[in-house]
């Protein structure tokens, strides 16, 4: 059995980047014979930026509903909320104390995120150690993530290797990242200052959320930034966001047709956007219905998370006990 683990921060409703970069590839891996999946909602990570209990709760449901809507099988896999297994915070401390401060100061995601916030918490700085704890607490072997998380996985491997050298080679399982090349980074709806693509992200406000009413989804797609090439002129598909997104969700045939239409000229971006909207609506139709169902029946989500905590908790407890003992700590029951 190979153990696959991944988490999504509950900072809002999952967007297209989350679906293509994390949820769908994760489910695909979970469904492969011989794999055992641990998928969780990283609600403690959300606390680095959100300080409102109602929003934390609502986002947790939205994220969980995203996994369930996309078809994660919670019977065979482990599906839980990070905060339900508090062992993870204790392990975070053990890891933090073994990881060089200077390495954390070089985290790309910290630099990106802290630059956009008025007030930066210490939690945001230690975020990679909480993520490493998420992974090491369950002896995960494979971690499917988007390209942006590569450095966090390197930190995880580094801290695990360091601890293994110190306390015994077998103590922690050193995980491998699984980064899907064909998905890479899903672009957001706006271009950057130099006219290039940006990463779709909740923190940049450039995301496409599929789980919303059709009208709103269409409106969002229509907002995608394009250049001002006139309708009749040929267009460059390779520098266009609409085409880049279409490539990720439409069939090969459909993509080839759209490519021709760009190169030929005579088609406006509005038509391309309409095609993208239809491709999104068709590809994710069933998932969108299921999402609404779960969000209207949150008790069903709670039930799944409770079962998940009951399954994941004992695994975490056992791994943490192993680490504690090696580091010279024990714990009395109370
Ligand atoms: P966000 O950047 O919107 O806050 P998260 O950081 O919560 O998204 O990402 C959750 C998961 O989705 C991670 O595995 C991440 O790599 C993946 N992901 C997020 N945005 C993208 C994207 N634009 N392209 C590919 N994968 C992404
Ligand atoms: N940091 C990840 C992100 O923002 C989410 C995450 C938290 C995660 N813990 C994890 C991903 C453990 C994989 C494994 O995308």
Each residue's pLDDT tens digit, 90-112: 999 999 999 999 999 999 989 98
Position 5 scores a pLDDT of 97
Residue 182 reports pLDDT greater than 80:
no
Q: In this structure, which residue's CA is closest to atom 26 in ligand 1?
A: 21
% of residues, the chain, pLDDT over 90: 87
Query: What integer is the mean pLDDT of 167-186?
Result: 87
Ligand nearest to C-alpha 181: 1
Residue 230 reports pLDDT greater than 90:
yes
Burial grade of 77 (CB within 10 A; 0-12, 13-18, 19 or more): buried
What is the best residue among 62, 198, 201, 210 to mutate for testing ligand 1's pocket, by most ligand atoms within 8 Å of CB? 201
Ligand nearest to C-alpha 244: 1
Position 184 scores a pLDDT of 67
Q: Is the CB of 74 under 6 A from ligand 1?
A: no
Q: Is the CB of 21 under 6 A from ligand 1?
A: yes
- The ligand 2 atom at the shortest distance from the C-alpha of residue 148 is 15
pTM of the predicted protein model: 0.92
Q: Is the CB of 17 under 6 A from ligand 1?
A: yes
Position 333 scores a pLDDT of 82
Position 116 scores a pLDDT of 84
- Measured in Å, residue 203 CA sits from the centre of ligand 1 at 10
pLDDT in tens, 312-321: 999 999 999 9
- Measured in Å, residue 294 CA sits from the centre of ligand 2 at 23
- Measured in Å, residue 226 CA sits from the centre of ligand 2 at 31
- Measured in Å, residue 196 CA sits from the centre of ligand 2 at 26
Query: What integer is the mean pLDDT of 242-261?
Result: 97
- Measured in Å, residue 321 CA sits from the centre of ligand 1 at 32
- Residues in contact with ligand 2 (CB, 6 Å cut-off): 5-9, 42, 45, 131, 134-135, 143, 145, 149, 152
Ligand nearest to C-alpha 124: 2
Query: What integer is the mean pLDDT of 303-329?
Result: 98
Position 183 scores a pLDDT of 66
Which of these ranges, 90-99, 163-172, 173-182, has the smallest mean pLDDT?
A: 173-182
Residue 151 reports pLDDT greater than 70:
yes
Neighbours of 52 (CB within 10 A): 9
- Measured in Å, residue 264 CA sits from the centre of ligand 1 at 34
Looking at every residue in the chain, the average pLDDT score rounds to 95
- The ligand 2 atom at the shortest distance from the C-alpha of residue 127 is 1
């Amino acid at each position: 059995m190979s153990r696959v683990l991944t988490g999504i921060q509950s900072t809002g409703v999952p967007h297209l980047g989350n679906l293509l970069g994390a949820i769908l590839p994760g489910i695909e891996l979970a469904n492969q014979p011989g794999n055992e999946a641990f998928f969780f909602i990283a609600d403690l990570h959300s606390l680095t930026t959100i300080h409102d209990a109602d929003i934390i709760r609502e986002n947790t449901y939205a994220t969980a509903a995203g996994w369930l809507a996309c078809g994660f099988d919670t019977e065979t896999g482990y599906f839980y909320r990070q905060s339900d297994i508090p062992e993870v915070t204790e392990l975070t401390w053990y890891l933090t104390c073994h990881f060089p401060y200077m390495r954390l100061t070089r985290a790309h995601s910290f630099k990106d995120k802290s630059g956009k916030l008025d007030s930066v918490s210490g939690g945001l700085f230690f975020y990679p150690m909480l993520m490493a704890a998420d992974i090491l607490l369950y002896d995960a072997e494979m971690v499917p993530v988007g390209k942006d998380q590569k450095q966090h996985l390197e930190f995880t491997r580094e801290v695990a290797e360091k601890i293994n050298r110190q306390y015994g080679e077998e103590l922690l399982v050193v995980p491998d990242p699984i980064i899907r090349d064909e998905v890479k980074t899903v672009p957001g709806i706006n271009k950057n200052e130099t006219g290039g693509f940006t990463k779709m992200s909740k923190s940049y406000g450039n995301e496409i959320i599929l789980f919303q009413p059709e009208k709103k989804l269409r409106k969002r797609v229509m907002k995608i930034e394009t250049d001002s090439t006139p309708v009749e002129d040929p267009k460059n598909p390779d520098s266009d966001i609409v085409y880049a997104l279409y490539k990720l969700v439409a069939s090969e045939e459909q993509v080839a047709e759209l490519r021709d239409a760009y190169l030929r000229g005579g088609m406006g971006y509005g038509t391309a956007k309409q095609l993208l909207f239809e491709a999104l609506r068709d590809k994710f139709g069933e998932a969108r219905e299921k999402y609404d169902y779960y969000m209207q029946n949150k008790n069903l989500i709670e039930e799944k998370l409770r079962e998940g905590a009951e399954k994941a908790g004992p695994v975490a407890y056992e791994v943490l006990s192993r680490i504690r003992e090696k580091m010279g700590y024990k714990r009395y029951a109370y």
